[in-house]
Amino acid sequence: MHACCALHRCVFLRNGWSGFRFQSQEVGGALGFPRSAGMTPLLEAARGLFALGPHYAYGRLFSRAYTFSADVTRRNDERLRLHRHSYRVGVHLRHRGLDCLDRGRACIAPFAAAVGLLVRAANASRAARGEAPGCAVLFASDRRLSASLFRPVALGLGCAFLRSERERQTDVRNGADNGEDTGVTAMRDVHLLAQASDLVGSFGSTLTLTAQELLASQYVPGERVSSVVLCHTSATSCLPPLPLITVDNTDWWHLSLERWPDAVLRLHAPGQPTPAATTVESSGLCY
């Protein structure tokens, strides 16, 4: 058991106890309450670490602790060089089993719709500034077949379609759960998704969480705030875009895996002391 305490106010992190599963964003959620005169210096300092939200904080921590090797970044960087000035939407499509692929195009429909909305909004914004449209879809999935289904979606929107380099042979380490490309390919996917302008991710996926945290960590104060749209292959629509940077208390949110295998999205409710309002819940399908 690990604990992060500030005198009489403690956040306990437990892992593997009676089905409880806590991960890093739980700490950010606990520290997301508004400042008050009664805060201890230690609690105030801890909250300062999350001033821009848990996504930024953990993305910065990841970037300081780890560095992607050239084997991960080289080909991604080469492909992205032609799209430095384009609107880039990252797509992470997590299947979890084989049921989604049995439904073919119906499976990717909510992700495709979300990408379409983002691209059209970006094109309209560029047109208003007198700029030509330009976009790229940065695609990652745990099933290679999904790329062939999503490519026409990207091209139909006038976007380039980019994927990270795949090994010649699939790398399957946990059957249908983790998909066909683990190891270095999964790292390439995370790196590619983190180069997006906005992200369309899979609700409850820790790979989506890692990518959105790395994307958030690149934020520069005063510049555009990136967002994530969370989708699920079993749903007919996605959630509205969620900002990856906390501008004020109403922007605060985090994903809770406390009730794993259910994933719960918690938003800060204005006027309440903690961001504890449960707004979206999976049906035992999120990992």
The amino acid sitting at 259 is R
Q: Is the same domain home to 104 and 41?
A: no
Q: Is the same domain home to 17 and 103?
A: no
DSSP annotation of 176 reads H
The amino acid sitting at 119 is V
Q: Supply the CATH number for residue 58's domain.
A: 3.40.50
Which tens digits make up the pLDDT trace of 173-185?
Answer: 555 556 667 788 8
Q: Is the same domain home to 159 and 222?
A: yes
Which tens digits make up the pLDDT trace of 185-232?
Answer: 889 999 999 999 999 999 988 899 999 999 999 999 989 999 999 998
Q: Is the same domain home to 177 and 259?
A: no
SS3 (DSSP) at 240: coil
Q: Are 201 and 214 in contact (CB under 8 A)?
A: no
Q: Which residue has the higher pLDDT, 140 or 44?
A: 140
Give the integer Cα–Cα distance in Å for 255 and 44: 23
Q: Is the same domain home to 121 and 137?
A: yes
Q: Is the same domain home to 96 and 194?
A: yes
Give the integer Cα–Cα distance in Å for 227 and 196: 10
Position of tokens 């700029």? 131
The amino acid sitting at 132 is A
> What pLDDT does residue 142 have?
84
Give the integer Cα–Cα distance in Å for 196 and 218: 11
Give the integer Cα–Cα distance in Å for 90 and 21: 27
Nearest to 285 by CA among 271, 264, 254: 264
Q: Is the same domain home to 85 and 193?
A: yes
Give the integer Cα–Cα distance in Å for 78 and 155: 20
> What pLDDT does residue 182 have?
74
Q: Is the same domain home to 212 and 130?
A: yes
Q: In the chain, how many domains are there?
A: 2
Could you list the residue range(s) of the whole structural domain that residue 29 is in?
Answer: 1-51+250-287
Q: Is the same domain home to 206 and 71?
A: yes
Q: Is the same domain home to 86 and 116?
A: yes
DSSP annotation of 181 reads B
Cα-Cα end-to-end distance for the chain: 21
Q: Among 47-61, 188-202, 270-284, which stretch is predicted with the lowest mean pLDDT?
A: 270-284
Residues 92-108: what's their mean pLDDT?
68
According to DSSP, the residues that pair with 200 across neighbouring strands are 91, 229
Q: Is the same domain home to 3 and 57?
A: no
Q: How many other C-beta atoms lie within 10 A of the C-beta of residue 210?
A: 20
Q: Is the same domain home to 204 and 254?
A: no
Residues 22-34: what's their mean pLDDT?
60
Q: Are 188 and 76 in contact (CB under 8 A)?
A: yes
Mean residue pLDDT of the chain comes to 78
> What pLDDT does residue 265 have?
84
DSSP annotation of 126 reads H
Give the integer Cα–Cα distance in Å for 78 and 21: 39
